[in-house]
Amino acid sequence: MWQRAQTIYLALVIISMGLTLALPFALFPKESGDITFNLFGLTPGVDNVSVWFPYYIIIALIIGLALFGITQFKNRKRQLNLGKINYLLILAMVVMLFIDTSRLAEELGLAEDAIKYQFGLYMPVVAIAFTFLANRSIKKDEELVKSVERLR
């Protein structure tokens, strides 16, 4: 199971989404100090602005689907479908992150240029790339199995 390329790629998806849990998404520079936008919203002390998208839930879903996909190594079709669902979830998360960051900058009275994007915002993009590579490896395995079955 672990020697297969798609398992390694799915493990890298789990690692990159795990890093998303720990790293901040963006910094908003203010004269009183930088305001950090992370998984649970803004740094304490900013009461008039709130984040409305529950990122921790979608990250848990993505990690759960990737873990379940690793265990489904005998059913490549299901594994491929789980990868496609993960695509959609990660893409939705990335879109919501960018929408939330620009909305928060606007509510804090900052220009779009002032946002300092952090590694936490880029980790889901890395997860999309690893999901793509995992799905490509699953398709190659499926084609290999089909070609061997034709030879029988």
Are β-strands 35-38 and 41-42 bridged in parallel, bridged antiparallel, or unpaired? antiparallel
- Per the CB < 8 A criterion, the answer to whether 138 and 6 are in contact is yes
CATH number at residue 132: 1.20.140
Parent domain of 77: 5-43+51-151
Give the per-residue pLDDT at 111: 79
| Mean pLDDT over the full length of the chain | 85
Give the per-residue pLDDT at 17: 94
How many Å from the N-terminal Cα to the C-terminal Cα in the chain? 24
- Residues 6 or more apart from 56 whose CB is under 8 A from it? 21, 39, 40
Sign of CA dihedral 12, 52, 40, 119: positive
- Per the CB < 8 A criterion, the answer to whether 63 and 85 are in contact is no
Q: How many independent structural domains does the chain possess? A: 1
pLDDT digits over 52-73, tens only?
678 889 999 999 999 999 988 8
**Which of 90, 84, 94, 85 shows the shortest CA–CA distance to 136?**
84
Q: For the whole model, what pTM was predicted? A: 0.85
User: Looking at per-residue confidence, does 67 or 110 come out higher?
Assistant: 67
Give the per-residue pLDDT at 93: 92
In this model, does residue 47 exceed pLDDT 70? no
Which residues are bridge partners to 37 per DSSP?
26, 42
In this model, does residue 2 exceed pLDDT 60? no
pLDDT (average), residues 19-38: 85
Give the per-residue pLDDT at 5: 84
The torsion angles phi and psi of 92, rounded to 5 degrees, stand at -60, -40
User: Looking at per-residue confidence, does 65 or 151 come out higher?
Assistant: 65
Residue 101 token pair: 């960051």
Identify the band that residue 50 occupies on the pLDDT scale cut at 50, 70 and 90.
low
Give the per-residue pLDDT at 52: 66
User: Looking at per-residue confidence, does 2 or 108 come out higher?
Assistant: 108
